[in-house]
Each structure stands twice: as C-alpha cells, then as structure tokens.
C-alpha cells in the first residue's frame, strides 16, 4: 500500500504524517506522545500504543490505527543495543552485508545511496574521534546527513530527560546514535524513541566495536566460530560485548584481568548460561594467551576513570601486552585494540606496529560494520 494513501489528508486530518503521533479528536483524549516500544523478540521490539483517558470510537478510528501501525513499521524499531538481542543468523547476515557494502565503497562506487533523504542524530555525552568520524562518514557515503550533538548540546538527564530527547529527535530524524555514560540513559532513549536507536557505547557495553572486531576477524582469519579470543586488561564494556557475542556465536573467549577488575558477574553468567561459546575468566595472562587467535587489549583506565589511572597502573603490572606475551600466544596470533591506545602502558609500541597487528584495519571496519547495522535497523 502506498504511503501517500495513508497520509493524514486521506484520513480527513490536517498536517504531515508526524501529526499522526499527536492526533486528538474532538471526542477523545488520545495521548500519542505516550507511544513507547516494548520488549525484544529476536532483536525486534513488540510495539505498544498507550492511550490515556476515554476514547470514543469514530468512523476513522480503524484507519487512524492502520496509519499509525504503518508509520511504526516504516520507522523500524530495530534498535541495536546489545549483540545478544539478535540471533546468530542475524549477526552473520549483518556482517555479510558489511563486507558487501565495504567492497562497493572500496571499488569507488558512489551510486548506492540507501540513506538518501535520511538524517541521523548523533548524541555524544562522551567525545570520540572514531565513533563520530566512522558514523558521520559512513552515513554520508551512503547518501544520508548526520547531525552531531556534543556533550553541551543536550546534557541528557541534567538539562532534559532522555524520554523527552527521544521523542523530540524522533520527529526530526530517521535514526539516533548515542554514545553515553549510563546504560540506563540508552535504554530510556530507545524505549521512548519512535526511530531506531544505535548504541555507540555506554559504560556497560560497546556492540558496534565488537561487530567491527568480528568483521576484522572474518577478513583475516576467515571466521569467528571456533576461534580463541583472549582479552588482557580491565573487565570493562568491551569485555561485556565480547561475552554477549559469545552468547550468540560459538567461540572461546577468555578475559585475563587482575583480581577485583573482573567483568560484571551477571553478564558472565548470562554468556555461560547461553551454552554457545566457551567462557573463561582468569587472572593469569600468560596462561590465557596460549593458542590464541586474537590477543586483545584496551586502556586500563577508561573515560571517567582517569583519576584512578596511577593506581590502576600499579595493579595492572603484568597485564601489559608486550612482545613476550605475543610470543607465548604463538605466531598465529593477531593483536587487536579498540583504540585509543596508551603506548607503553597496556601495550608496547612494538606490538602495535608489528606485522600481526590488525589495529588499523579494525578501526576502519567501525565504519563498515556500522553501515550494515544501520541498514539493518532501517530495514534497508
């Protein structure tokens, strides 16, 4: 059915399709600002329409509801918040599309413009070079326009609540990407937005990074399944996303971290309970890296933890990825790092610059993995 056929004018209403969300008849008090998204089902959300007050039926009621349903379907509601919101088939399909679109862009092809006429709001409570440039460039190359909203532009939770930000930005944009501190802010944003929300990072997880990592592994190793990935360092948001990937795709994931810096126990248990990948948490990096296909590192003090940096450098002694540790891992092991790196702290300069370091292809793949994620979220 053509979208024009469902425009408000066709229903005897005034205004653009955006007004569908704010419909009020003379005989009802239908509050469409209470539109919210419900629970996940294989990566897609069941949508709920909340109506406050008495609603008197009218001849247009069914048509109005049909129009609303269509707008919601067009909008998508395929948020990308956690990797394990999706099944294995969907994750691999997104990664396949990432490879296809990457090849297209590498060939110089510039007529594939699936995002033409679309806008993306990018919320940055945490600044980032890679996240901004990869999302903005990727969206532009595929025909769209991205709008940067920096830490002082919104101040979500301080100047304006997430639920209000979500509903306002949904009326201007086709998709929202958010890089935040509190994971609950992301969940609130997704719950109230009527467009797809992409997790650009929270203190809890970083799914776009791990999708880029998975794409990089496929390019260099040939697959993710059956591999051994060893993360050495702090049990942070990167580790949580690796754990959630291991809950979907069967591979061996090991986190080697100092005592007291292990990843969230509930996330570890969730990954183990899925019964898909092999999960290990250890305090012995030298034993952990033996036979690894990938040795992975990240900064010891993330953004918001810099006041702990000196203390962490003491605690994390013995967890630096250096040439000796890579030698223990074996000649087959690649080194990966999500960047930015503190050379000489969690990793040596020699390891980053070694031939088996794939840190920079990994960084490039942020854009390609995210392009595929956005295509999936928008149903394109």
- The CA-based diameter of the chain, rounded to the nearest angstrom, is 76
According to the model, what pLDDT value does residue 303 have? 67
pLDDT in tens, the chain (380 residues): 443 333 333 333 333 333 333 333 333 333 434 444 444 333 444 444 444 444 444 444 444 444 444 344 434 459 999 999 999 999 999 999 999 999 999 999 999 999 999 999 999 999 999 999 999 999 999 999 999 999 999 988 788 999 999 999 999 999 999 999 999 999 999 999 999 999 999 999 999 999 999 999 999 999 999 999 999 999 999 999 999 999 999 999 999 999 999 999 999 999 999 999 999 999 999 999 999 999 999 999 876 677 788 999 999 999 999 999 999 999 999 999 999 999 999 999 999 999 999 999 999 999 999 999 999 999 99
According to the model, what pLDDT value does residue 55 have? 45
Residues annotated as catalytic are 338
CB 286 within 8 A of CB 316: no
């Amino acid at each position: 059915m053509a979208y024009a056929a469902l425009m408000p004018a066709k229903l005897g209403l005034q205004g653009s399709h955006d007004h569908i969300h704010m419909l009020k008849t003379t005989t009802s008090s239908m509050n469409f600002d209470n539109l919210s998204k419900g629970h996940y089902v294989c990566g897609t959300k069941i949508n709920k329409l909340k109506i406050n007050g008495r609603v008197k039926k009218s001849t247009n009621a069914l048509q109005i509801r049909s129009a609303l349903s269509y707008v919601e379907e067009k909008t998508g509601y395929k948020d990308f918040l956690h990797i394990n919101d999706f099944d294995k088939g969907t994750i691999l399909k997104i990664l396949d599309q990432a490879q296809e679109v990457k090849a297209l862009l590498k060939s110089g092809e510039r007529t594939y413009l699936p995002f033409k006429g679309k806008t993306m709001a990018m919320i940055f409570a945490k600044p980032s070079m890679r996240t901004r440039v990869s999302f903005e460039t990727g969206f532009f190359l595929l025909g769209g326009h991205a709008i940067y909203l920096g830490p002082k532009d919104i101040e979500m939770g301080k100047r304006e609540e997430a639920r209000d930000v979500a509903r306002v930005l949904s009326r201007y944009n086709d998709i929202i990407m958010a890089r935040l501190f509190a994971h609950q802010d992301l969940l609130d944003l997704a719950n109230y937005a009527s467009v797809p929300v992409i997790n650009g990072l929270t203190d809890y997880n970083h799914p776009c990074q791990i999708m880029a990592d998975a794409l990089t592994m496929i390019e260099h190793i040939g697959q993710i399944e059956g591999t051994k990935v060893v993360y050495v360092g702090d049990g942070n948001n990167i580790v949580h996303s690796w754990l959630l990937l291991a809950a979907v795709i069967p591979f061996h994931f090991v986190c080697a971290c100092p005592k007291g810096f292990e990843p969230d126990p509930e996330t570890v248990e969730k990954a183990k309970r899925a019964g898909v990948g092999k999960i290990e948490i250890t305090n012995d990096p030298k034993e952990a890296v033996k036979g690894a296909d990938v040795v992975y590192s990240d900064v010891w003090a993330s953004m918001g933890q810099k006041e702990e940096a000196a203390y962490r450098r003491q605690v994390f002694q013995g967890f630096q990825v250096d040439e000796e540790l890579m030698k223990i891992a074996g000649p087959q092991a690649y080194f990966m790092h999500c960047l930015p790196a503190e050379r000489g702290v969690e990793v040596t300069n020699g390891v980053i610059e070694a031939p088996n370091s794939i840190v920079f292809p990994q960084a490039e793949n942020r854009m390609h993995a995210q392009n595929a994620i956005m295509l999936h979220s928008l149903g394109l």
